[in-house]
Amino acid sequence: MEPLDAVLPGRPGAQVLSLPAGTPPHRYVARRADLVLVVLAGDPCLGVGAEPPGRCPAGSVVVCPRGVPWSVAGGGEPARVVAVGAPSGPERTLAALLGPPPLDGAALVAAAADGGLEVVLEPLR
C-alpha cells in the first residue's frame, strides 16, 4: 500500500459541509487542487463540466478535477457532504462559502479567491 502523499500531489484536506435545502446554485473552479465530494445525507444538486447539476443521493461520489468548472446547490432537503481537496484548501473555502450567512455576489467572489476558488458567473442550465 502506498502512502496518500505518494499518490496525491500535496497534503489532502477534508471538511464536512452542511448544505441547507434550497441553497442557490453556484459554479466554481479550483485551479490548484482536485476536489472529491461524497454525499453523506440529503440530495444536493452537483454537476461537473458541461453537465447540468443533478440530484445526488447519499452515497454519491463526484470528482471535480482541477481547472474544470463544477456546481453545487441545495436539494429538497438539507445535505451533508464531505469535500476532500488535494492539495488542501478549497474544501475549507467551500465550507465557508456555503455556510450561513449567505454571501452576496462581491463577497462570494472575494471569499472564493482567498481560498483558491474562482466563482463562474455564468448561468447554470
Q: Which domains does the chain have, with CATH numbers?
A: 4-118 (2.60.120.10)
pLDDT digits over 61-118, tens only? 999 999 999 999 889 999 999 999 888 877 877 777 776 666 677 777 777 777 777 8
What pLDDT is stored for residue 3 in this prediction?
A: 57
Take residue 7 and report the three cell numbers written for it. Answer: 499518490
Element (H, E) at 28: strand 26-30
What pLDDT is stored for residue 41 in this prediction?
A: 97
Share of the chain above pLDDT 70, in %: 84
SS3 of 32, please? Answer: coil
Q: Which residues pair with residue 48 across a beta bridge?
A: 70
Using CA atoms, how far residue 1 sits from 7, 29, 98, 124, in Å, is: 10, 31, 35, 41
Take residue 98 and report the three cell numbers written for it. Answer: 456555503
Q: Position 53: which residue type?
A: P
